Amino acid sequence: MWNRVVRFGSAVAAGAAAVLVSLAVSPAVADESLTSLAVPAVRSPISSDTFYFVMTDRYADGDPGNNTGGRTGPLETTGFEPASDAFYHGGDLAGLTGRCDASDPADEGLGRLKRLGFTAVWITPPFVQRTVQGSSAAYHGYWFLDITKPDPHVGTEADFAAFMGCAKKLGLKVFLDVVVNHTADVISYKEGNAYVPLAKAPYRTATGRPFNPWRFTAGSAFPRLAPRRSFAKTPRVDAPFASAKGPAVLNEVTRYHNRGDIAWGSCVGRCEMDGDFSGLDDLMTEDWTVVKALADAYGEWITKYGVDGFRIDTAKHVDPYFFGRWLPLVNQTAAAAGKPSFTSFGEAWLTDTAQLSELMLARQLPSVLDFPYQDTVRKFVSDQVTGRSLALLFDDDDYYTSASTNAYGLTTFLGNHDMGRIGFFLATGTSAEGPALLERDVLAHDVLYLTRGVPVVYYGDEVGMTGSGDGKDKNARQDMFPTEVAAWRTEERVGGAPIGSNSAFSRATPIEAHIGELARLRSENPALSSGPQITRYGDGSVFAASRIDVAARTEYLVAFNTADEAVSASIPTSTPSAAWSSLRGAGGAVTDAAGKMSLSVPARSSVVLKADSTLPSPGAPAVSVTAAQDAVTGRYKVSATVPGADPSSVTFVMRRKGAANWTVLGTDDARPFRVFVPPARRASAEIAAVVTDSVGQRASSPPITTGLSPFS
């Protein structure tokens, strides 16, 4: 479970380091009943995509007539003030759609994104918002009232249909940002907003009986609740908002947790899931009625408009069973609408891989935004950590591996609308200026595009936006069209002068051009997007990895250097005695009979090489397997050893002791070969591994027997 994950380096991890199970290595055997179980490593439907994440209100104003949302009156009514970074600025769906002509250089909308090589666009929530809360407007889209229709500030249903039609015409996928944890803040409490722990005030039925919402399964009848008896707080709603939410069931105050605000800094566990996120009304996601209402309402955007996927906001704040109940309903709707490849990724701001992976392995999300990646890559390109840190990051990728998930489906990024932009991190976190700053920014995008995962570029990064003030939140949400915010007119731009009163579209930028080149490189060499990634070198300022074209049996090498001077390294590969052609960076290279390459990586730059010959044919494969309890997570780490350097894959299988059928635990296609199995009380299991080498030969290990007891 989520709350049982142990953080790296904690006292608990240190105390639990004793291995409960450690089994001897067994020699490989060719057992047909096992070798037939081998399957390729999974790839997400978006593993070859590149995303452009755009805040619709800040991109382009295609229809000035909707800037005030169809309202007149004071700021708290219209929410429109383009000179303030806290209110609507006028960007809309019409502006984002543009002329829908990628061949027209004047098309600043989706046609521009197509020209830059993006294959998918993720837009901030387009739904009806509570226009103003406190001292800010809902220009960002995360304070929804009604998820059944677009907010009038961004456009009409016809505008959204036109936007989707254009995306389909250009071959762009569209992902909607959705919120399932909360709605806009319309519920208040007469007792105040301080969070009340469950131990002090349990949930009660309408008749006063205590109950735990987590005990109710999918489709089960949830207890009848009463506003004055069932909650830690007494919820109330002002008359103007009494029926403002859609779907209508969300207007019932008994569909919320009503416990007060999350106490940031002191809250861990249950309070993060049933407290109000900064006052926003926290939905009772354990209630099947809520689950079904959210699935039906969001499903309409798939059925009616054909959206291709969801990015799910505040994913760690819903109850741990929600996604296992809600996502199957959403996916059924998508399949019925002719979108079997519909998928989703969630947001949980966690920089610990073991914790983040639990959202996929335990909470059943197909993917998540890779915050550990962002944290490590940002520090690497800022020269704050070494290539070893990047190697250790990728070494933890096996925490994400299951029969249906792995790290190749993670959405990777350099910055976002909450934490700030990569340009700001580089401008404030390094001493680089001018050309050197630009080179580090370009290098950051090289890492983003050329390592595993699905790259997401935050709008404006491609034109060198940085940020004002602390660079976070509102300070990282600049206008692409001519801005009226004074600070944004004068703030630093990577690779160019401050924008002044001009539009970001009026200038060609070196970062923009480079992103287009990276997109072309990935498109022409699919191994650079979805091929297995094998870490080859991580030390000092250099990191290098192989990417494998499995079908063509061809190896690529990508290398990055953050130093201010060229650095040479001896890098192992799986392709000996070969010449390598340069696709980016330095000239070609060769490998010796042992597969070693002497490579010089230019300062603040990257190198991409492709072997001119195929991988050597391997001998007969062999595999052995061990199991030991992982001190970090409490899961069982199942490891396979495959001799040699061939880029093989290993499928791990398990069956409960005495059972007839095997279950695939997952396939790992990069060394070290591992999966992590959840513990179970009073359980004993057989585990085996099947290796498939680069020419399709297979071998299996004999099964080993292990208990799966959790830590005591």
Contact between 622 and 27 (Cβ < 8 Å)? yes
The dihedral over CA atoms of 50, 504, 380, 674, expressed in degrees to the nearest 10, equals: -10
682: phi then psi, degrees, rounded to nearest 5? 50, 40
Contact between 638 and 627 (Cβ < 8 Å)? yes
The dihedral over CA atoms of 99, 100, 105, 110, expressed in degrees to the nearest 10, equals: 110
The alpha-carbon radius of gyration of the chain (Å, integer) is 26
Contact between 119 and 171 (Cβ < 8 Å)? yes
Whether the bond between 621 and the residue before it is cis, its omega within 30 degrees of 0, is no
Is 308 an active-site residue?
no
Distance of CA 29 to the CA centre of its chain: 39
How many other C-beta atoms are found inside a 10 Å radius of the C-beta of residue 457?
26
Catalytic member of 85, 287, 313, 319: 313
Contact between 10 and 705 (Cβ < 8 Å)? no
| DSSP states along 435-477 | HHHHHHHHHHHHHHHHSSSEEEEETTGGGTB--STTSSGGGG-
Q: Residue 478: in which H helix or E strand, if any? A: none
At 280 the three-state DSSP class reads strand
Catalytic member of 107, 347, 479, 669: 347
Query: DSSP E strands: which ranges in 298-453?
Result: 309-313, 343-346, 411-413
Distance of CA 401 to the CA centre of its chain: 15
Q: How far is CA 683 from CA 288, 658, 706, in A?
A: 31, 11, 9
Interhelix angle for 288-305 vs 322-336, to 10°?
A: 30
Contact between 556 and 608 (Cβ < 8 Å)? yes
Which residue, among 77, 322, 19, has the nearest Cα to 178 in the 3D structure?
322
Rounded to whole angstroms, the Cα distance separating 312 from 345 reads 6
How many helices and strands, by DSSP H and E, does the chain display?
A: 17, 33
Torsion over CA: 502, 504, 508, 510 (sign):
positive
Length of the chain: 712
Rounded to whole angstroms, the Cα distance separating 384 from 502 reads 35
Is 313 an active-site residue?
yes
Long-range contacts: 208-217, Cβ < 8 Å, 24+?
Answer: 213/284, 213/286, 213/287, 213/319, 214/286, 214/319, 214/320, 214/321, 216/286, 216/287, 216/288
Which residue, among 423, 320, 309, has the nearest Cα to 367 in the 3D structure?
309
- By annotation, the residues acting in catalysis are 313, 347
